Amino acid sequence: MKRNLITINYIAYMLLFVTATFVSSCDKAFIPENETTISNSSEDESHYFGQNCMECHHSAGHGEGWFTLAGSTKGNYYMATIELYYDTINPPVHKIEVDQKGNFYTTNEINYQTPYLVGLRNQNNDIKYMKSKISVGQCSLCHGATTSTLNINW
Ligand code: HEC
Ligand code: HEC
């Protein structure tokens, strides 16, 4: 009888231990993690062309990396870059290469308090600017939704 009790206690203890381990590993899986994830012309790891990447890649989302700027462009985007400027005199404040799928993204800190002039530069060094300045990095909020998808075939 006593022996059984000890066994039951032992099993109960083990169960508690297993549950505790399970719960804590679960918790861990739901803590969103931020990693440095920046597109470049030799990467092809991205996906969801044209969708708003930040629907998933934000601090509460499940996509790896909290993007501060991301979007997609059609056309001949080989070696193309997205550039953020304060003005047309100084060099760009941020420069992001478009990847092999036409997507561009970065987790680098971008301060949107001062709106940026944004440009799309092709491999021949021609640049097209957006007329209005931007203070948000979610390009596909508008491009492909309320205005045309970015297209570098000019
Ligand atoms: C529906 C949710 C969702 C959307 C929308 C989404 N992603 Fe993701 N993304 C994920 C998840 C989840 C992962 C991690 C698992 C995986 O690789 O599929 C991920 C992984 C990635 C990775 C790989 C990161 C690494 O370090 O390996 C890149 C790059 C990426 N996404 C870019 C983008 C870009 C660019 C967009 C927008 C054009 C985008 N994602 C839109 C959910 C999403
Ligand atoms: C609030 C909506 C909105 C957001 C967000 C937005 N755009 Fe635009 N974009 C527009 C509109 C509308 C136009 C066309 C009129 C203009 O140039 O201002 C445009 C034009 C452009 C052009 C010029 C295209 C051409 O062929 O002349 C570029 C380049 C551009 N956007 C890049 C971007 C990038 C990169 C982002 C994300 C960092 C972005 N835009 C975010 C609305 C937006």
Whole-prediction pTM: 0.85
Give the ligand whose atoms come closest to the C-alpha of residue 84.
2
Query: Alpha-carbon distance 139 to 96, whole Å?
Result: 13
Tell me which amino acid residue 144 is. G
Name which residue sits closest to atom 12 of ligand 2, judged by CA. Answer: 147
Q: What angle do CA 106, 95, 148 make, to 5 degrees?
A: 75
Quick check: 16 pLDDT over 50? no
Instruction: Average the pLDDT over 84-95 and give the result.
Output: 96
Q: How far is the CA of 53 from the centre of ligand 1 (A)?
A: 7
Q: How far is the CA of 80 from the centre of ligand 2 (A)?
A: 16
Using the structure block, give the residue that is written with the tokens 């001949």.
Answer: 76
Give the ligand whose atoms come closest to the C-alpha of residue 138.
2
Quick check: 29 pLDDT over 50? no
Residues 6+ apart with CB under 8 A from 126: 154
pLDDT at 60 (0 to 100):
80
Instruction: Average the pLDDT over 128-133 and give the result.
Output: 97
pLDDT at 34 (0 to 100):
74
